[in-house]
């Protein structure tokens, strides 16, 4: 970013000397020894200039909201596994025996049942073997000597034929898991967006401190010269008083800039965390050289992709599409509840071995079919649930339309802000150049005795104001670019690829 005022030579020498001393100190040597074996992310956050890629990597890996979203997705996947359990193979064992009494009959039975999705069907197979005598009212317990094998199936012909609570739960949890995955992406986009905005605010706040420091240094250096000239009688004492007033004003501006920088550093530290999740507040020494940071992307490059396709792929709208599918399934389930129940069953059984105490009537292959019909006559509960499900479906459709229009409006506004910010940044840089020229001209006139001390100060402060406006114009462009990348899901620019 263009600057009108540069650091004096002695300041650069002092900074260089300080860095040399720090590099030779034992603590610095120890840090250099430790850094290579530390966590790569933590090393990147604590050494050298802090770059936007490091901030995005830190927030993507350690920010609690993103980790929470992953846990919610894991919970949704667990619900999906639980719903699948409704179709688990079931094994049942049964034993019945008389310990005393006139009759001695008893039996053992093992049965396996497997629910199936088509037609709400269920198939089963069992084996039963009995021994002893049973009373006439328990005659069905008799088997041949080697027992009885039975297979069968149950089918739903009306209600529960196409959908039931179990199949609805499986599909609903699958859609919910997909929504949870989209929620992870949405949280990542929002977090990375805010982290990037916090980073650029921190950089801009650091740049403003440099401007006001340079402005104050000029006044302090001038104070030394004016004090000498006042002692020699070359200038009136009021000139020294006027410069002292400028010093106070510039010190105030610097303190305000430092306060803003501290606030920006704390805000950025919210997104900078080590491997243990502890926040790390960046220092001023970690400010990057803005000349080494990549410039803002050109407007034409940013809007290369068709916005309509980008907006349709937004996670919010994909989530609504899944929500509509879930609501439609719920309506289908409630309509299923209105249907009468008509269930069919078929069984095939066969006894094996010598004829048992039950006699020859059990020595046969039996095929049995059956139908069961039930229907509630009023069905008010089912109608009420259906009406609620239909209302929720209509509500979701309306909300989807509103969110789609809202996203379109937000993207259009971001584009307008981005275009204006880039133009304003160009104008601000031009203003800095003009203000710098005016400062140099006024200082020359003042040295030659043709200028006015008041005008020199005014030109210097106008140049500083122009630099601050240029910094803030650059910041507005960076913020608009970050918002556009988040709105259009530029995962690479947000550190998510």
Average of pLDDT values for 88-102?
92
pLDDT of residue 208: 94
Average of pLDDT values for 368-393?
89
Q: Please report which confidence band the pLDDT of residue 268 belongs to, taking 50, 70 and 90 as the band edges.
A: very high
* pLDDT more than 90, % of the chain: 46
Contacts of 216 (CB under 8 A, 6+ apart): 247, 250, 251, 253, 254
Question: Residue 266: is its pLDDT beyond 50?
Answer: yes
Q: State the Cα torsion 480-481-484-488 to the nearest 10°.
A: -170
Q: State the Cα torsion 450-452-458-461 to the nearest 10°.
A: 70
Question: Residue 222: is its pLDDT beyond 90?
Answer: no
Q: Please report which confidence band the pLDDT of residue 41 belongs to, taking 50, 70 and 90 as the band edges.
A: low
Average of pLDDT values for 211-220?
88
Q: What is the pLDDT of residues 164-195, one digit of tens each?
A: 999 999 999 999 999 999 999 999 999 999 99
For the beta carbon of residue 463, count every other beta carbon within 10 angstroms: 26
pLDDT of residue 305: 59
Average of pLDDT values for 133-156?
91
pLDDT of residue 3: 37
Distance CA 60, CA 217 (A): 41
Q: State the Cα torsion 56-61-65-66 to the nearest 10°.
A: 100
Alpha-helical (H) ranges within 313-379 are 315-338
pLDDT of residue 256: 95
Average of pLDDT values for 487-492?
88
pLDDT of residue 12: 31
pLDDT of residue 322: 95
pLDDT of residue 391: 95
The residues with which 106 forms a beta bridge, in sequence order, are: 131
Higher per-residue pLDDT: 290 or 33: 290
- For residue 390, CA distances in Å to 40, 58, 165, 239, 445 come to 53, 44, 17, 82, 81
pLDDT of residue 15: 35
Q: What is the pLDDT of residues 416-453, one digit of tens each?
A: 888 888 888 888 888 888 888 887 777 777 666 666 66
pLDDT of residue 423: 85
pLDDT of residue 479: 92
The answer to whether 128 and 109 have CB atoms below 8 angstroms apart is yes
pLDDT of residue 453: 65
Average of pLDDT values for 39-59?
81
Q: Chain-wide mean pLDDT for the chain?
A: 84
Q: What is the pLDDT of residues 110-124, one digit of tens each?
A: 999 999 999 999 999
pLDDT of residue 301: 60
Question: Residue 31: is its pLDDT beyond 70?
Answer: no
pLDDT of residue 408: 87
Q: Please report which confidence band the pLDDT of residue 35 belongs to, taking 50, 70 and 90 as the band edges.
A: very low
Helix (H, G, I), strand (E, B) or coil at 273: strand
Q: Which residues of 106-131 are buried (b: 16+ CB within 10 A; e: fewer)?
A: bbebeeebebeeebbbbebebbbbbb
pLDDT of residue 437: 83
Higher per-residue pLDDT: 287 or 446: 287
Q: Which helix (H) or strand (E) holds 31?
A: helix 26-34
Question: Residue 294: is its pLDDT beyond 80?
Answer: no
Of residues 92, 54, 139, 4, the one with CA closest to residue 433: 4
Q: Please report which confidence band the pLDDT of residue 61 belongs to, taking 50, 70 and 90 as the band edges.
A: very high
pLDDT of residue 16: 35
Q: Please report which confidence band the pLDDT of residue 22 belongs to, taking 50, 70 and 90 as the band edges.
A: very low
Higher per-residue pLDDT: 245 or 290: 245
Q: Please report which confidence band the pLDDT of residue 270 belongs to, taking 50, 70 and 90 as the band edges.
A: very high
Lowest mean per-residue pLDDT among 29-33, 174-178, 317-321, 443-447: 29-33
Q: Sheet with 148-156: list strands edge to edge.
A: 90-96, 106-115, 122-131, 148-156, 341-351, 365-374
Question: Residue 277: is its pLDDT beyond 50?
Answer: yes
């Amino acid at each position: 970013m263009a600057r009108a005022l540069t650091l004096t030579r002695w300041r650069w020498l002092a900074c260089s000397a300080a860095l040399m001393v720090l590099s030779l100190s034992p603590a610095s040597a120890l840090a250099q020894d430790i850094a290579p074996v530390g966590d790569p992310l933590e090393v990147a956050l604590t050494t050298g200039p802090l770059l936007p890629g490091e901030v995005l990597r830190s927030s993507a890996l350690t920010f609690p909201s993103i980790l929470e979203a992953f846990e919610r997705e894991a919970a949704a996947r667990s619900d999906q596994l639980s719903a699948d359990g409704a179709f688990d193979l079931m094994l049942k064992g049964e034993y019945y025996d008389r310990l005393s009494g006139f009759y001695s009959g008893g039996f053992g039975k093992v049965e396996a049942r497997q629910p199936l999705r088509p037609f709400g069907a269920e198939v089963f197979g069992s084996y039963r073997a009995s021994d002893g005598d049973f009373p006439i009212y328990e005659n069905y317990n008799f088997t041949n000597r080697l027992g009885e094998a039975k297979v069968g199936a149950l089918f739903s012909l009306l209600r529960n034929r196409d959908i039931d609570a179990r199949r609805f739960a499986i599909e609903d949890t699958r859609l919910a898991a997909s929504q949870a995955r989209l929620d992870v992406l949405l949280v990542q986009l929002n977090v990375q967006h805010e982290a990037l905005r916090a980073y650029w605010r921190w950089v801009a706040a650091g740049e403003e401190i440099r401007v006001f420091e340079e402005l104050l240094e000029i006044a302090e250096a001038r104070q030394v010269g004016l004090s000498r000239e006042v002692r020699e009688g070359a200038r009136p004492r009021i000139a020294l008083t006027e410069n002292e007033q400028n010093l106070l004003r510039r010190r105030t501006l610097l303190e305000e800039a430092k306060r803003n920088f501290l606030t920006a550093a704390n805000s950025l530290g919210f997104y900078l965390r080590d491997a243990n999740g502890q926040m790390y507040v960046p220092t001023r020494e970690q400010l990057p050289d803005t000349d080494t940071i990549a410039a803002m992307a050109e407007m034409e490059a940013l809007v290369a992709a068709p916005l309509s396709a980008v907006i349709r792929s937004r996670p919010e709208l994909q989530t609504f599409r899944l929500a509509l599918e879930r609501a439609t399934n719920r309506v289908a389930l409630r309509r299923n509840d209105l249907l009468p129940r008509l269930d069919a069953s078929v069984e095939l059984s066969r006894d094996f071995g010598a004829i048992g105490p039950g006699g020859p009537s059990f020595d046969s292959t039996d095929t049995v079919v059956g139908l069961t019909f039930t229907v509630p006559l009023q069905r008010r509960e089912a109608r009420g649930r259906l009406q609620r499900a239909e209302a929720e479906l209509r509500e979701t459709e309306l909300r989807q339309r509103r969110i789609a229009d809202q996203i379109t409006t937000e993207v259009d506004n971001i584009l307008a802000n981005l275009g204006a910010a880039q133009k304003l940044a160009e104008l601000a840089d031009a203003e800095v150049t003009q203000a710098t020229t005016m400062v140099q001209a006024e200082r020359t006139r003042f040295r030659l005795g043709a200028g006015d001390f008041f005008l020199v100060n005014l030109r210097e402060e106008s140049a500083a104001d122009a630099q601050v406006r240029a910094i803030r114009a650059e910041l507005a462009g960076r913020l608009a670019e970050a918002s556009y990348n988040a709105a259009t899901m530029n995962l690479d620019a947000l550190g998510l690829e």
